[in-house]
């Protein structure tokens, strides 16, 4: 049984935030507990929002996600984005569910174009359309992503959040060092 599955730290920057001309950044910390293969995994994330404008952890959120492998290469998850907020963040809470399928295009993961990952989900809150959010309509929105392992250190990613299309790369520049760089355009 796996008690502590992962620990990660991340930072993000965007040159222009939604509905403004200002740049901003986030800092995040995530840890996973449990065993999603034989039981259930729990991910807990702490995010510092508006970090460049207000300072680290002057405002932020805590999110939770339960996840489970239901077959080889097939996963489900349900969670609450921004379940707890502090310091006056501008995003609300979002409940969601998602299914992810990994497709083995080549059994050798080190080969180019060896894996394709497809995710599809439904959620409220931030996953709704901008018009529903602006009009205060309580609805459910669809979101999803496609990722292709291009070569061993690089994945190409396209994602629809329910509001925005993002295209980017996930790059692991140093073998054996758990550093991931993800440049993207939204």
Per-residue pLDDT tens over the stretch 107-139: 999 999 999 999 999 999 989 988 998 898 999
The maximal CA–CA distance of the chain, rounded, in angstroms, is 49
pTM of the model: 0.86
Per-residue pLDDT tens over the stretch 76-94: 999 999 999 888 776 789 9
Q: Which candidate, 62, 60, 68, places its Cα nearest to that of 34?
A: 68
Confidence band, pLDDT 50/70/90 cuts, at residue 11: confident
Measured CA to CA, the distance from residue 107 to residue 115 in angstroms comes to 9
- The answer to whether the CB of 102 falls within 8 A of the CB of 117 is yes
State the chain's mean pLDDT as an integer: 90
The DSSP code for 35 is: -
């Amino acid at each position: 049984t796996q008690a502590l599955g992962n620990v990660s730290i991340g930072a993000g920057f965007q040159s222009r935030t939604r509905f403004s001309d200002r740049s901003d950044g986030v800092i995040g910390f995530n840890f996973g507990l449990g065993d999603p293969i034989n039981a259930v995994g729990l991910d807990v994330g702490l995010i510092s929002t508006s970090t460049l404008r207000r300072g680290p952890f002057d405002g932020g959120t805590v999110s939770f996600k339960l996840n489970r492998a239901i077959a080889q290469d097939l996963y489900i998850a349900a969670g609450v984005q921004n379940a707890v907020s502090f310091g006056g963040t501008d995003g609300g809470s979002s409940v969601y569910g998602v299914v992810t399928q990994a497709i083995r295009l080549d059994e050798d993961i080190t080969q180019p174009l060896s894996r394709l990952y497809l995710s599809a989900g439904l959620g409220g809150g931030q996953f709704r359309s901008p018009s529903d959010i602006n009009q205060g309509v309580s609805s459910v929105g669809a979101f999803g992503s496609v990722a292709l392992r291009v070569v061993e250190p690089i994945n190409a990613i396209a994602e629809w959040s329910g509001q925005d299309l993002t295209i980017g790369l996930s790059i692991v520049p140093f073998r054996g060092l758990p550093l991931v760089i993800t440049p993207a355009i939204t």
